[in-house]
Amino acid sequence: MAQINPSILSADFARLADEAKAVEGADWLHVDVMDNHFVPNLTLGVPIVEALGRATDIPLDCHLMIEDPDRWAPQYAEAGAGSVTFHAEAAAAPVRLAREIRAQGARASMALKPATPVEPFEDLLPELDMLLVMTVEPGFGGQAFLDIMLPKIRRTRELISKHGLELWLQVDGGVSESTIERCAEAGADVFVAGSAVYGAADPAAAVASLRAKAEAAAAGAARACGH
Ligand code: DX5
Ligand code: ZN
């Protein structure tokens, strides 16, 4: 089952509660936290996550593009995020951090920037509920999808199968009507979409249409593999 997570980075920050309502049917709301250090952009923090959590029934998927997530990430779980993603490049002790996030009752997730390979993290995967393969350099919405990430998505899916894990595989960056099928065929099952959803005339319809495309592509890929 494909999950579609609209990114509020492309929403109107002055009307976040309404923007959450506009994507009824979305699986999660993707919340991009940026600190102006890990990435050259600054967005929002714990108080807004708390407020947004009170304003919507859609669970929050917090993507932390911040330095020192070991120190800050557990607060997002405490603030009510259902899923907390930290970056592998920024975490000093990813296993301890993932365990802390899970202990707070949230799903623990780790993100990889485009130049970070998945292979060194193979043994850590059982500690995670989701792995995020970035398909743009993190920092901004509306960037072009990096096709060169498709082999990494494929290799990650193979590692998940090899170990028989329940891990979700998320892609984020440039995911749209024209790229989502390639991501699903490669093995992604959770899709973040910012501009493709909030740039659409009807954001809720865009969510449904992206999900239908991803599911059709995943079914096609499974048939081709003889599953
Ligand atoms: C980028 C963020 C993304 C961003 C995606 O660093 O992590 O979540 O909102 O936006 P689109 O879908 O427009 O590429
Ligand atoms: Zn993101």
Catalytic site includes residue 32: yes
Phi, psi of 180 (to 5 degrees): -65, -30
State the Cα–Cα distance between residues 227 and 161, nearest whole angstrom. 13
Counting ligand 1 atoms within 8 A of each CB, the residue from 43, 137, 140 with the most, and so the one to mutate, is: 140
Res. 226 pLDDT band, cuts 50 70 90:
confident
Residue-wise pLDDT for 4-13, tens only, equals 999 999 999 9
Q: Whose CA is nearest to atom 4 of ligand 1?
A: 141
Give the pLDDT of residue 194: 98
Q: Where are the beta strands (DSSP E) in the chain?
A: 3-6, 29-34, 60-65, 83-87, 107-112, 130-134, 168-172, 190-193
The answer, yes or no, to whether residue 227 has pLDDT greater than 80, is no
- Separation of alpha carbons 130 and 128, rounded Å: 6
pTM, to two decimals? 0.98
Helix ranges (H only) for 68-136 are: 69-78, 94-103
183 vs 13, 47, 142, 171, 186, CA distance in Å?
28, 33, 17, 7, 5
Dump pLDDT digits (tens) for 28-70.
Answer: 999 999 999 999 999 999 999 999 999 999 999 999 999 999 9
**β-strands 107-112, 83-87 pairing:** parallel
Superfamily of domain 3-225: Aldolase class I (3.20.20.70)
Residue 74: C-alpha distances to residues 35, 66, 97, 107, 200 (Å): 16, 13, 8, 11, 34
Residue boundaries of the structural domains of the chain = 3-225
Half-sphere exposure of 159 (CA within 13 A, CB side): 22
Average pLDDT over residues 169-176: 98
Q: What percent of the chain has a predicted confidence (pLDDT) above 70?
A: 100
Ligand with minimal distance to 141 CA: 1
Over residues 115-167, the pLDDT tens digits come to 999 999 999 999 999 999 999 999 999 999 999 999 999 999 999 999 999 99
Mean confidence (pLDDT) of the chain: 97
Question: Which ligand 1 atom sits nearest the alpha carbon of residue 30?
Answer: 8
The pLDDT tens digits of the residues spanning 210-224 come to 999 999 999 999 888
Among residues 112, 106, 156, the alpha carbon closest in space to that of 134 is found at 112
Percent above pLDDT 90 for the chain: 96
